[in-house]
Structure 1
Amino acid sequence: MSDTSLDVFTGADGRDWDTGPDGIVRMAVVGLGNYARKVSLPAIAESDYCVPSVVVSGTEQRRIETAREYDAVGVTYAEYADGTATDEYDAVYVATPNREHLPHVETAAEHGKAVVCEKPLEATADRARQAVEACENAGVTLMTAYRMQTDPLVRRLREFVREGGIGEPIRLFGNFSFDVLGGSKGPDQWRLDEHLAGGGALMDVGVYPLNTARFLLDADPVSVWGTTRTSGPFGDVDEHVDFGVEFPDAVGNFSASFSGHSNAELSMLGTDGQVALRDAFGVGADRTLVVETDDGTVELEGFGSDETVEEFDYFAHCLLTDSPPEPDGRDGLVDVETAMAVYRAAEQGSRVGID
């Protein structure tokens, strides 16, 4: 393998988008669940271009304690909807259960605030579309919180693939599995509520290999097929999902699970080689990339940036430079539409096309 083909990975922890703008974006964090408190808020506080200034929660003690920890203003959901403290924030991060994204995105749009919304964008395609249209009609930025699109190593991998590092992509394989019942919440959590979540493993973690594959290929699905399985503790949501995605020039086979051994991997086969990304989707994981071509095999280790910090800095950078984010609302909508098509395919036992 020539050294030139791997030059793209030099400095793979660096930012290829950062122009060093002046300014700070003050963020209102809507929803103070475990992920927001343990992952997102620390990342916002650590970032270069944004700071948490308002926190929104319906739980009084959590709201007060979090506001004190970050020297922020704490407000209730009703106060947020009514416009309380709008002078204290420039943009909104929505981190509530999936079906509650829409009203909070609409509120931000009504107040003229840009939004970064957790994935999936909503629990149904219709509601995701409403969120997108609300922001477009208000003329505010909507970014879907796909942190993998801002991970420096994943961005370098996309560049490598685009430059023909493995020839023409043919097939992709990906999986993301974790024990959702292994934490303190057990079965009493919104991820296992079909109404709030919109689905199970596919909606929560299956969107990671799906969206990352779309990002690497710069392509959208044209058809899907799939199957789901579940057992007692998981109620009506999918415990396991296996699904295929046909792209215009490649095919992806992906899976996701809410039980079993934790795993996160993504690989791509091309006409002239293949790449495999290990620990692909974990928060702040040290990722390993294996590149194989006829010239040999190279393993790149030790690449691990806090991609959540990257995500919020990227969002703030877009606002400060008046540039659109790549993982915008339409990007998030495509994944929700694709997930809904996978569920239809699993129910019908046949391939489903995507317009």
Structure 2
Amino acid sequence: MTKTSIGVAVIGDGLMAKEHTMALRNVRAVFGADVPQPRLEVIVHPDADRARAAAEQYGVARWSTSWQDAVADPAVDLVDIVTPNIHHRDPALAAASARKHVWCEKPLALTSDDAQAMTDAAEAAGVTTLVGFTYLQNPGLALARDLIRRGELGDLFSFTGFFSADTMIDPDVPFTWRTDRALAGGGALGDLGSHMISIARNVVGGVSRVSGLSRTVIGERVDRDGMRRTVDNDDHTLALLEFDNGAIGTMQSSRVQTGRAFEVSFVVTGTKGAIRFNQQDSHVLEVSLESDGLDTHGFRTIELGPGHGHFGHLWPMSGINVGLHELKIFEAWELLQAIAEGRPASPDFREALEIERTIEAIERSALRGGEWQLI
């Protein structure tokens, strides 16, 4: 690794490999030449044909069927893990042992024990880590955090969050690794709810205890080999949250939410104001603030623009939607810049470990009929 160049090994070939390589290829175009240039050195899949095809599609110099060889490659400085969740732990531990930085998709691991081991190894090695809670990079959240920090909302007391999708409402959607607890861990909670937990912690603060209820709405699906399989993780989860600062909240994660193709939204309320945000309208943040001195009730709309987060690196004018792929570019910048500056990135393995603990507490509660669980 040099100050201007970072070699990357991508472990995995699917949708998130596409998103990560798009971000890495475009980060300098968005942020300029001061950002270290990522070199896409090698991409890995155990099937040689898939590895070769991924290298060609994503513009990676070489391909391999061995993640162990990729991690050990002297040209590699950063290990980018975009595999099913069961395969996060071992490459991350190997990367830390080789003193290489790690970018890992969420959730960090299948269990909090694995997440703890990964966190301990990375911190002991002194490497930079980042986990793919991409929505935290949104300019709307940057403005929300700024308003909260400035006291515009007063004392926070309420949070409501939704990550709802209809991606699996069709019973003919096949059984995949995402519906297999052994490979994915939690279902909607781990996949979608982890994002909402990350947002709640980011704008409100740490979570002290939870109560949860879960349902598997479609209990069986047919896999790609035509075999009928039991779905053993959740399709839909609701949770109550109690925060360290005394605020309370609710969150919903669902992959079977009829009528909501894709919704990532939240409301946070305090004694002097409230904020409302929806990723599908990512060009705006809605606010209702006592400091406005208005005699009417309701929210007003702020058009997000160059003064909010990294928005200005994309557009010089306000009011343009910022999509998920663009947020991933912001995430890639955070990691590359942190490596170059020798500082922690955010959210790192330590933060992802706290999110994993929260997921497990919600799952424990759901198994006990909603009984409150400490984090």
- TM (norm. structure 1) is 0.86
Aligned match for 2:234, one of 213, 238, 252: 238
- TM (norm. structure 2) is 0.82
SS of the aligned residue for 2:343 comes to: coil
Asked if the contact 2:334/2:346 (under 8 Å) is kept, the reply is no
Residue 17 (structure 1) aligns with: none
Q: What amino acid maps onto 2:374 in structure 1?
A: G
SS of the aligned residue for 1:88 comes to: coil
Residue 209 (structure 2) aligns with: 223
SS of the aligned residue for 2:10 comes to: strand
Asked if the contact 2:64/2:70 (under 8 Å) is kept, the reply is no
Asked if the contact 2:159/2:266 (under 8 Å) is kept, the reply is yes
Asked if the contact 2:275/2:285 (under 8 Å) is kept, the reply is yes
1:84: how far off? 6.7
1:134-154 Cα offsets, whole Å, 9 max, x none, are 212222222222222222331
Aligned match for 2:372, one of 320, 330, 351: 351
Q: 1:173 to 1:81 in 2, by over 3 A?
A: same
In structure 2, the gaps of 5 or more residues are 29-35, 222-230, 304-318
Identical positions, percent: 29
Q: Does 1:304 align with 2:321?
A: yes
Find the aligned partners of 1:86 and 1:268 in 2 and give their Cα distance: 46
Find the aligned partners of 2:239 and 2:88 in 1 and give their Cα distance: 26
1:303: how far off? 4.8
Q: Does 1:59 align with 2:79?
A: no
SS of the aligned residue for 2:151 comes to: coil
1:244: how far off? 1.1
1:182: how far off? 6.9
Q: Does 1:269 align with 2:269?
A: yes
1:298: how far off? 2.3
Find the aligned partners of 1:192 and 1:84 in 2 and give their Cα distance: 29
Asked if the contact 1:135/1:141 (under 8 Å) is kept, the reply is yes
Find the aligned partners of 1:51 and 1:159 in 2 and give their Cα distance: 34
Aligned length: 326
Aligned match for 1:247, one of 243, 248, 260: 243
SS of the aligned residue for 1:226 comes to: strand
1:52: how far off? 2.2
Residue 314 (structure 1) aligns with: 334
Find the aligned partners of 1:84 and 1:132 in 2 and give their Cα distance: 18
SS of the aligned residue for 1:176 comes to: strand
Residue 12 (structure 2) aligns with: 31
Aligned match for 1:129, one of 116, 121, 135: 116
SS of the aligned residue for 1:89 comes to: coil
Q: What amino acid maps onto 1:109 in structure 2?
A: A
1:223: how far off? 0.5
Asked if the contact 2:55/2:62 (under 8 Å) is kept, the reply is yes
In structure 1, the gaps of 5 or more residues are 1-20
Give the CA RMSD over aligned residues. Answer: 2.2
Residue 180 (structure 1) aligns with: 167
